[in-house]
Amino acid sequence: VIELGQAERSVTTTCAYCGVGCSFNAEVKGNTVVRMVPNKNGHANHGHACVKGRFAWGYATHPDRIKTPMIRDSIHEPWRSVSWDEAIGYAARRFKEIQAQYGRNAVGGLTSSRCTNEETYLVQKLVRAAFGNNNVDTCARVCHSPTGYGLKVTLGESAGTQDFDSVLSADVVLVIGANPTDGHPVFGSQLKRRLREGAKLIVADPRGIDLVRSPHIRAEHHLQLRPGSNVALLNSLGHVIATEGLINEAFVAERCEAEAFEQWRTFVSEQRNSPEAMEALTGVPAASVRAAARLYATGGNAAIYYGLGVTEHSQGSSTVMAIANLAMATGNIGRPGVGVNPLRGQNNVQGSCDMGSFPHELPGYRHVSDPVARPQFEAAWGVKLLDEPGLRIPNMLAAAHAGTFKGMYIQGEDPAQSDPDTRHVTDALKAMECVVIQDLFLNETAKYAHVFLPGASFLEKNGTFTNAERRISPVRKVMPALAGKEDWEVTVALSNALGYPMNYKHPSEIMDEIAALTPTFSGVSYAKLDRLGSIQWPCNDEAPEGTPIMHEDAFVRGKGRFVVTEFIPTEERTSRKRPLVLTTGRILSQYNVGAQTRRTANKAWHAEDILELHPVDAEDRGIKDGDWVGINSRAGETVMRAKVTERMQPGVVYTTFHHPESGANVITTDNSDWATNCPEYKVTAVQVRKVEVP
Ligand code: SF4
């Protein structure tokens, strides 16, 4: 904290929006933020920022903020404002009653990638130690859980391999299923800078994203694949590399498991995986696939960046592993300018996963059955822990429908709007006896809640976020918590009321506990974060100042492991009744379900979700720009306005999900990734028709 004058201060903190994790200096007068100035010393952003971090922080003091705890016995009753003690005591009593009546597995917790590492760590600790089960999950389940799975299996660590600056050494960049200029704007600018310097670009995306069409940048290849065919496309890229002598044999021999590699080589070399054989399925001309594969394999340092267009599929985990296969086969791992780089959606997706908020993993990605790790946590926490994984979000919802799951502690997440198949989610919430929401606003899920615990915005608390490049950055308190408590304090109070004592005076003590129990964080402390500004994990005795690039001399798992990724089509099929495929994404000015950006001036830039469709599909249906259209899937129906654009390919439509009124997730389905249950937001068969103004 630098004192600037009598009434002004500047506090260095971290943006609470996307996974770039830009550093800002919040300039404050009294307890009011005057402006957010991008920090020139920020390692992730080097003084740059986008319209969200720079301008859209006013939601923190929006009149919609709830500043008083509230309770109600039934969701049909009005809320009653109560004291913190009464609300927390009420929640604890209801949870204990449920466990007494239905068993200890009848309750669980949901953490958020919006929250700090310290808050997330405490929620999973509360679930495991106070509830006595492993029923904890995170909203990362619905975005990047396949990244965690796929990169752990192939490379040995559930994280991206590079720092952002690495892109400045790339000669070839493959962007697949990501739209960095909208979703990760500051990284998108860094990428564009490198492309302007001459790096070659390959885009694999069903839609003509800005990178394809930018006036100053020309993608060498736009592989405009059909939604749901990622694995087929990646296998065909592998086919070209394997059959045209483009494998980096020396790298593979030295760094990878030989038997698994030979299985992969044999598999992708089969004619059925050739670009020609896959062309009808992917919709991408075979010649383009061949040219792109040659460019990726021979163009120098080649880096892959990907986003939710990779993970949010029924084969999300297979797609991540297929990407890792390509990087290993060409030796594009372990140095600047290369690598496998997941662009994490929210500010703390990486950290939320690191902190053990999946039901099968303790902090640091150790399985709950790990005979070494679990006893360490048991000793530190003073409780016996279960060695069986608990319930994932979809399992909790299913159990609620079945009448065996009755209570949920939800911190910073809004499943009623953000999870797929809204009706299924809300029916599950209605079936529960105690839903506790900890949030800034009365979100959609709060309609089904019994206890509301007011949350604190990023401006009102201390902690850390971990961005997409594994960079742990400080979040520093700029103004007092409007409701009187920081989120970590609320979790501590709830745990104590449940009978499991927690005692921390400051989030730095929580980080000290994390460091003591997590080998990849053992060198992290608030003092070091103050000194260095930020730290990329692993940070330990071997790397006391952190690790910008992983897998340099060997993979974390030892030898890299190729995985045969057979293409299996999604069960979601178009039909005569629903002939179009809907896919979803984000736009620059808005953020996810819009709880924050809709409460700022950014709302004016994108006041509604719009359905994009190709002119051919529009003409077939008599739809013109601005017309209202009804969109029907097997899950439900919604209405929004249409935009006719050649960005889309015929047969594919696209929308965002920033506004609850348009309800994009009313129509997404319950299909999910085979390994992680990450929902298949990117492929929904729909019927689109013109409707009257609603
Ligand atoms: Fe915030 Fe992401 Fe924008 Fe940076 S790029 S200012 S982290 S939203």
ipTM attached to this prediction: 0.99
CA-CA distance, 88 to 283, in Å (whole number)? 55
Q: 70-143+347-522 domain in CATH 3.40.50.740? A: yes
16 CA: nearest ligand 1 atom = 1
590 pLDDT band, cuts 50/70/90, is: confident
Ligand 1 pocket check: which of 17, 35, 346, 459 to mutate, most ligand atoms within 8 Å of Cβ?
17
* Ligand 1 binding pocket includes 17 (Cβ within 6 Å): yes
| Rounded Cα distance, 670 and 676, in Å | 13
Name the band, by pLDDT with cuts 50, 70 and 90, for residue 7.
very low
The domain limits of the chain are 2-61, 70-143+347-522, 145-342, 580-690
How many residues are recorded in the chain? 694
CATH of 580-690, picked from 2.70.180.20, 3.90.1170.50, 3.40.190.10, 2.40.40.20, is 2.40.40.20
Distance between Cα 190 and ligand 1 center (Å): 13
pLDDT, one tens digit per residue, over 601-633 is 777 677 788 999 999 999 999 999 999 999 999
Mutate to test the pocket of ligand 1, among 36, 50, 534 (most ligand atoms within 8 A of CB): 50
Beta-bridge mates of residue 26? 11, 36
Mean pLDDT of all residues in 87-93: 98
Cβ atoms within 10 Å, residue 613 = 28
The CA distance from 167 to 180, in Å, is 13
Distance CA 691, CA 694 (A): 8
Superfamily (CATH H level) for 145-342: Dimethylsulfoxide Reductase, domain 2 (3.40.228.10)
CATH of domain 2-61: 2.20.25.90
Distances in Å between the alpha carbon of 389 and those of 138, 359, 360, 384, 386? 14, 5, 4, 14, 8
All residues at 6 or more sequence positions from 168 whose CB lies less than 8 Å from its CB, including other chains: 190, 193, 194, 336, 337
pLDDT confidence band for 669 (50 / 70 / 90): confident
Euclidean distance between CA atoms 108 and 89, whole angstroms: 17
Of 13, 14, 18, 55, the one to substitute when testing ligand 1's pocket (max ligand atoms within 8 A of C-beta) is: 18
Q: Are 450 and 72 in contact (CB under 8 A)?
A: yes
Beta bridge partners of 411: 438
Nearest to 498 by CA among 432, 430, 404, 434: 434
- pLDDT for 213-234, tens place per residue? 877 788 999 999 999 999 999 9
pLDDT the model gives residue 660: 66
Element of type H or E holding 293? helix 286-298
Nearest CA to ligand 1 atom 3: 50
What pLDDT, on a 0 to 100 scale, did the predictor assign at position 517?
A: 97
Confidence (pLDDT) at 3 = 52
- Rounded to the nearest whole angstrom, what is the distance from the C-alpha of residue 54 to the centroid of ligand 1? 8
- Ligand 1 neighbourhood includes 21 CB (under 6 angstroms): yes
Mean pLDDT over 370-388 rounds to: 97
**Of 302, 293, 375, 342, whose CA–CA distance to 140 is shortest?**
342
State the distance between the two ends of the chain, measured CA to CA, in whole angstroms: 51
For ligand 1, atom 2, which residue shows the shortest CA distance? Answer: 18
